[in-house]
Amino acid sequence: FIVSSLVLLHYFTADNSEIKIVSGFSSWENIEKAEERSNELAKQAWPDKDQRTAFFKKQSSYYTNMHSDEINSPLSFAKPVTEASAEPLIFYVRNSHADIPEGGTQKEFGDLMTEYTEKVIKKNPTILGYYPNRHAWGSDGRDFIEAFVFKSFGDIEKALKENTELEKAAWPDEAVRKAYFDKIGKYFTGFHADYIYRSVPELSK
C-alpha cells in the first residue's frame, strides 16, 4: 500500500533536528490499510513480542514526541526523477500560499503551471525532478508545496539561472512574458518559505 517512501534530513531549515518522512499512497483509504499491513509485517519480522517491543523502543529513543502530519495531493504537472541515485540528493522545498483570485479557476491555474513546467522545468537538465502538491489535509489550506530535486547544493543556483534563460526563450517577447507572470502571480498571495533537505538513499522506496 506504500507506493513510495522517502526520508529527508535537515540541510538548511530552521530546525537542525528535523526529519521528514514522506510516504506516497494511491488513495486516501490506503493510508489506513498501509498502517495495518505494516503492523502485520512487524509481527512477522519480530515474532517474539519482547524482541519486537525492544526494537521499537530503541528506534523511538532517537525521536522526541513532537511530530506533525500533513497530507498533500500530487498534481499532474510533475517531472519525476528518472534514475535512482546511490548518493544523497538535495531537495529544495518551496511552500507558497496559493489562492484562486476573482475570476480565476482551478483549471486556469493548472494550465498556467503546466505551461511553465513544460517550457521551463522539464527543459532544465539541472532539475532532476519536480513534484508539485496541493494541500489535502493539515493546518493551512493555502499550502502549495513544490519539491525540486538536485544532484548538489550548488545546482540550485545554477538551475535558477538556467530557468531565467529558458523563460526568455519560451516567451521571447518581454511584454508577453510579463503578462504571463502577472497572470500566474494572481494565484499566489506573495508568501513563500524555503527549505532544503538531503535524502537518505538506502531508506528510499
Tens of pLDDT along 13-66? 999 999 999 999 999 999 999 999 999 999 999 999 999 999 999 999 999 989
Q: What is the pLDDT of residue 100?
A: 92
State the helix-helix crossing angle for 106-119 and 154-170, rounded to 10 degrees.
Answer: 110
Read off the pTM: 0.94
Q: Which residue has the higher pLDDT, 110 or 65?
A: 110
β-bridge partners, 15: none
Q: What's CA 180's distance to the chain center, in Å?
A: 25
157-164 average pLDDT score: 98
- pLDDT classification of 151: cutoffs 50, 70, 90: very high
The pLDDT tens digits of the residues spanning 187-197 come to: 999 999 999 99
Q: What is the pLDDT of residue 128?
A: 98
Q: How many CB atoms lie within 10 A of CB 189?
A: 12
Give the C-alpha separation, 53 to 152, whole Å. 39
Report the pLDDT value the prediction gives residue 182, as an integer from 0 to 100: 97
What per-residue confidence (pLDDT) applies to 138? 87
Sign of CA dihedral 63, 64, 65, 69: negative
Percent of the chain with pLDDT over 90: 96
Q: What mean pLDDT, rounded, does the chain reach?
A: 96
